[in-house]
Amino acid sequence: MSVTTLSDELRLIVGRDHVLDGEVDRFGYSYDSSFLPLVPAPRPDVVVRPRTAEEVSRVMALAFAGGIPVTPRGAASGRTGGSVPLHGGISLALDRMTDILEVDEGNMMVTAEPGVRTMDLHDACAARGLFYPPDPASWKFSTIGGNVAENAGGMRAVKYGVTRDYVMGLQVVLADGTLLETGGKAIKNVTGYDLTGLFTGSEGTLGVITRVLLRLIPLPKARGVLRLLFADMDAGCALVHRMLKAGIVPSAAEIMDDVSLQAVARHRRMALPAGAGCCVIIEVDGEDAAELEAQCGRIRGVAEACGCLEFKVAQDKAESDELWAVRRGLSQAVAALAPNRLGEDISVPRDAFPEVVRRIGAIAKRFDLLIPVFGHAGDGNLHPSVLCDMADPAQAERVHRAVDAIFEAALAVGGTLSGEHGIGITKRPYLAQALGEAGVRTLQAVKAGLDPKGILNPGKIW
Amino acid sequence: MSGLLEEAKALVAGCDRCGTCLTVCPLFKVRDVERSSARGKNALARGLAEGGLEPGPEVRGAVEFCLLCRACTDACPNKVPTDEAMVRVRQHLTDRAGGPTVTYRLVGAALRSRAAVGLGALALGALRRLGLLRLLPSALVPKEFPRKAFLAAFAGPAALGGEAPAATPGAHARVAYFQGCGMKLMFPDAAEATLKLLGGLGEVSAPDNPCCGLPHLAHGMKGTFLELARENIALFEEADVVVTDCASCGGALKHLADHFKDDGAWRDRAAAFSAKVLDLTEFLVRAGYRSPSRGERTFTFHDPCHLARGQGIRRQPRQLLEAAGRFVDMREADTCCGGAGTFHMDHPGTAARILARKASSIEATGAEVVVTACPGCLIQLTRAAEASGGRFKAMHISQVI
Ligand SMILES: Cc1cc2nc3c(=O)[nH]c(=O)nc-3n(C[C@H](O)[C@H](O)[C@H](O)COP(=O)(O)OP(=O)(O)OC[C@H]3O[C@@H](n4cnc5c(N)ncnc54)[C@H](O)[C@@H]3O)c2cc1C
Ligand code: SF4
Ligand code: SF4
């Protein structure tokens, strides 16, 4: 089928304005927020922006008949190239499907279309006293469909878990256009395989998510934010470790090393006490101020035992927002330090956190690179950022070897390749190492069963 | 690769493609495709620079599709200056194509000609003969320039009330008024009100200055921009303070120095000039201006992009308005109105949708008058005021304080 007829057929399905096939638009849908080079751009032949599940289904049926690759796309905030249309074909942008269909207060659940922004979903629920906890740092712009497809995690994962822990059911359009409903509002559900779980984190390779049903919990009434400074990462890690062991579970515990800390300090014109080489930002929540105060008091005790240099409790909403802004702006502040940055995302058992940080420090030395580390200390997920100038070929070579070494280090301490960003394109080479041959073959068997022609997001994961 | 593309690429190097800007770009709000957003534009700049995209009419259209409003830069964690990059890319495309499009060339020529602009109504006639009338805001230029109707509709307290009392501006400073083309051409009465305000505070000169050059710069006519800049620098050499009531002129003039950094002959003169430029509101607050009387009117203020983000001036106009009447802030006060130089002429449909959002924000405040400090915005807001069927009026700040 020629490109023009494909566009025309698609226009019949979604309307003229929602099919883009000009040069500039095709380029605009060729990248995401990963660190893949922009040029050469893996352009889609055409961008389609459906409004309903039915339209998605018709688009898929058409693609299936013609054997045309389809790459689903939310907000393209993914960090591993998931929405990059590696093999051309159709870029299926779901960002026009933005309705929150139902907030079911009785069952404490929400039903939404995939293009709803995570923050909007959170706010709509919070307005009714209900809480949707997963809050990836990209929550202002990433879509809930993208979050489910990546099984995104957030700052609050240490206490509340990740996206998967809230997905109750999905509506999915399969490769041939069939509409499938999985899960439902029944809390206990063991009827057959866990299809909801299967599509969650499938990175757009098994089906297109067109509706999500999410579980909610009561909104904590009070929330407090703390900033703790330590001399080094070991002290910071020790705090997180001992705190959790003592049964204090904060809703978030974010850690950053000296380079990251300096970067944000400069970015936000913040003054720091001398000798501060590690910062931990903690959020606690609870029923009321008294409960928060009690938690803060206990954390202070542990912190002092770990040699805390400064213990700051946000006094009001503005101060809390400021402390959070420090963490949320971190990834970009670090990126601003060098022409290029390869932000990685590895996850290790919680007690291996200090060890892997030490190993990464050694890797930085060995390859003569600056590799600041920050992450979700509470859950063992960390983001080493290799700062570099990829225009320098000798350095680029060192960078690739350093990244390999980082993944090796993660696996060596019993960790995994990705805590939250998925595999996409950028981590494909390491997959077999992490899952083993049998693991990869099993994934491939599932894929072959659901997408026999291999048209859904080809080139990803393996 | 041309130096300009190289510069553009360097400017957007900090773009992490994160997507934060997607949530604030006024264009993305009305046309939510990647190319509208700053992320899309920055990628485009890089794509061009790295040879992944061929320049052509489509690319040109995409880089012209930017209000240069800087909302993205404000929200961007890395403060990527998308607007500056777009100006570079536009210039590059212009140089490559051997000059700007015919429309811009004609407007550029008209704005360069002091005579054409200075003659006001006559200039409009001339533009009409050139067939350029469609480029002018129809809401403001009906068959004949309705000076009387205009005056009646726009007379603010300052025009009705007495003279502004003399205050003490920076001890005997030689204050000069820089009159922008937009003010001269479209809002002569507001310009008069500005002169009256300034006159009430001391001696003011009003040299017959040429255009600030911003339209030329924005549309890839840098050569003309630099010529105009030199003329202005020389013209205002004697003044201690240069006051303008046009946010766009103010922004452009304050940044002139940047364009002469590597020009030994002009560097110091340009820096001295830029350093003495003040926006009217900035000047009045500094000079301790007091409104003659506090009226009962309710005002709201639309922040021109070139004032709020371009010059960091947000407090001063509000302070002046609070002293002159009742002041109510509107939602998204600093979101672009869709005027943006010639944007509203090139993309009338998009501009109208952006303006409709603005109008509903204004109406929600219940204010009788929406005040602003830039003729470009005033054109748009006047349109909105007309469409509102008299629910509110639009005025320049010099007319109401
Ligand atoms: C500054 C920044 C901070 C970030 N912080 C975090 C963080 O804290 N935690 C975290 O987990 N991630 C984080 N991310 C990564 C990213 O935001 C998440 O992966 C997010 O879930 C992607 O959502 P999206 O809507 O942008 O999806 P996209 O990037 O568009 O797509 C991601 C993948 O999902 C698929 N997909 C998208 N929508 C659908 C659908 N409806 N059906 C089927 N497949 C679909 C795509 O094909 C692709 O494979 C961050 C990214 C940035 C830029
Ligand atoms: S311009 Fe700034 S906000 Fe927009 S994508 Fe780039 S880094 Fe993010
Ligand atoms: S300058 Fe304004 S219009 Fe242009 S990309 Fe930035 S926010 Fe959008």
Q: pLDDT digit string (tens) for B115-161?
A: 444 444 444 444 444 434 444 443 333 322 333 333 333 333 333 23
Cα angle, residue B81 at apex, residues B79 and B84 outer, rounded to 5°? 165
Q: How far apart are CA A225 and CA A216, in angstroms?
A: 22
Q: How far apart are CA A385 and CA A337, in angstroms?
A: 11
Q: What is the Cα Rg of chain B in Å?
A: 20
Q: Count other C-beta atoms under 10 Å from residue A231's C-beta.
A: 16
Question: Which residues make beta-bridge pairs with A209?
Answer: A172
The mean pLDDT value for B84-109 works out to 72
For residue B18, give the nearest of A28, A77, A117 by CB distance.
A77
For residue B52, give the nearest of A39, A76, A117 by CB distance.
A39
Q: How far apart are CA B328 and CA B361, in angstroms?
A: 11
Mutation target for A interface from B1, B12, B16, B41: give the one with most A CBs within 10 A.
B16
Prediction ipTM score: 0.89
The band of B105, judged by pLDDT with boundaries at 50, 70 and 90, is: low
Q: What is the DSSP string of B69-109?
A: --HHHHH-TT---HHHHHHHHHHHHHHHHTS--HHHHHHHH
B16: its two tokens: 């992490």
Ligand 1 atom with the smallest distance to the CA of A460 is 49
Q: For residue B43, which ligand has an atom nearest its CA? A: 2
* A141 lies within 8 A of chain B by CB: yes
For residue B16, give the nearest of A24, A29, A335 by CB distance.
A335
B260: its two tokens: 């002469």
Tell me which H or E stretch contains A402. Answer: helix A393-412
Q: How far apart are CA A323 and CA A270, in angstroms?
A: 11
Phi, psi of B328 (to 5 degrees): -125, 125
Q: Considering only CB atoms, which chain A residues are within 8 Å of B50?
A: 38-39
The predicted structure's pLDDT at residue A277: 92
How far lies B258's CA from each of B66, B91, B106, in Å? 22, 16, 27
CA of B350 to the centre of ligand 1 (A): 29
Determine, for residues B18 and A331 on separate chains, whether the beta-carbon distance falls below 8 Å. yes
Pairing of strands B393-396, B369-372: parallel
Supply the residue whose CA is at minimum distance from atom 5 of ligand 2. Answer: B17
A411: its two tokens: 């696996």
- Model's pTM, two decimal places? 0.81
The predicted structure's pLDDT at residue A456: 98
CA of A139 to the centre of ligand 2 (A): 15
Q: How far apart are CA A50 and CA A15, in angstroms?
A: 9
Instruction: Locate the DSSP E strands across A370-445.
Output: 373-376, 381-388
Residue B107: CB partners within 8 Å, gap ≥ 6? B132, B135, B215, B342
A404: its two tokens: 């390999």
Pocket test for ligand 2, best of B42, B46, B66 (most atoms within 8 A of CB): B42
Supply the residue whose CA is at minimum distance from atom 5 of ligand 3. Answer: B38
How far lies B219's CA from each of B54, B95, B102, B127, B136, in Å? 20, 11, 11, 19, 17
Is the model's pLDDT at B97 over the cut of 90? no
* B17 lies within 8 A of chain A by CB: yes
Tell me which H or E stretch contains A223. Answer: strand A222-230
The predicted structure's pLDDT at residue A1: 56
Q: How far apart are CA B52 and CA A320, in angstroms?
A: 43
* A338 lies within 8 A of chain B by CB: no
**Residue where the block lists tokens 């005056």:** B151
Instruction: Locate the DSSP E strands across A49-189.
Output: 70-73, 90-93, 100-104, 109-112, 130-131, 167-173, 179-183
**Residue where the block lists tokens 């409003």:** B69
CA of B336 to the centre of ligand 3 (A): 9
Determine, for residues A335 and B78 on separate chains, whether the beta-carbon distance falls below 8 Å. yes
CA of B43 to the centre of ligand 2 (A): 10
- Residue A85: CB within 6 Å of ligand 1? no
Q: How far is B308 from chain A (nearest CA, A)?
A: 20
For residue B62, give the nearest of A24, A142, A331 by CB distance.
A24
Q: How far is B20 from chain A (nearest CA, A)?
A: 6
The predicted structure's pLDDT at residue B158: 33
Q: For residue A112, which ligand has an atom nearest its CA? A: 1
B269: its two tokens: 């003169």
CA of B356 to the centre of ligand 3 (A): 18
Pocket test for ligand 3, best of B28, B30, B39, B66 (most atoms within 8 A of CB): B66
CA of A159 to the centre of ligand 1 (A): 21
B351: its two tokens: 């501009």
Q: What is the DSSP string of B217-231?
A: HHTT-HHHHHHHHHH
The band of B290, judged by pLDDT with boundaries at 50, 70 and 90, is: confident
The band of B356, judged by pLDDT with boundaries at 50, 70 and 90, is: confident
Tell me which H or E stretch contains A440. Answer: helix A431-450
Supply the residue whose CA is at minimum distance from atom 7 of ligand 2. Answer: B15
Q: How far apart are CA B158 and CA B299, in angstroms?
A: 14
Q: How far is B284 from chain A (nearest CA, A)?
A: 30
- The average confidence (pLDDT) of chain B is 78
Q: How far apart are CA A369 and CA A402, in angstroms?
A: 8
For B16-74, the pLDDT digits (tens) are: 899 999 999 989 988 999 999 999 999 999 999 998 898 888 998 899 889 888 889 98
Q: For A42, name the nearest residue in chain B, comparing CA atoms only.
A: B52
Q: Considering only CB atoms, which chain B residues are within 8 Å of A20?
A: 33
Q: How far apart are CA B355 and CA B344, in angstroms?
A: 10
Q: How far apart are CA A195 and CA B375, in angstroms?
A: 60
**Residue where the block lists tokens 């970009």:** A332
A179: its two tokens: 């509409």
CA of A212 to the centre of ligand 2 (A): 28
- Residue A94: CB within 6 Å of ligand 1? yes
Nearest CA to A204 out of A97, A93, A346, A103 is that of A93
**Residue where the block lists tokens 């005790």:** A301
- Residue B80: CB within 6 Å of ligand 2? yes
Q: How far apart are CA A427 and CA A80, in angstroms?
A: 7
Asked whether the beta carbons of B274 and B257 are under 8 A apart, the reply is yes
**Residue where the block lists tokens 């099993």:** A442
Q: For A342, name the nearest residue in chain B, comparing CA atoms only.
A: B16
pLDDT by residue, tens only, chain A of 462 residues: 566 689 999 999 999 999 999 999 999 999 999 988 888 889 999 999 999 999 999 999 999 999 999 999 999 999 999 999 999 999 999 999 999 999 999 999 999 999 999 999 999 999 999 999 999 989 999 999 999 999 999 888 889 999 999 999 999 999 999 999 999 998 877 788 999 999 999 999 999 999 999 999 999 999 999 999 999 998 999 999 899 989 999 999 999 999 899 888 887 777 888 899 999 999 999 999 999 999 999 999 999 999 999 999 999 888 998 888 778 778 778 887 888 888 888 999 988 888 999 999 999 999 999 999 998 888 888 999 999 988 888 998 999 899 999 999 999 999 987 777 889 998 888 888 888 999 999 999 999 999 999 999 999 998
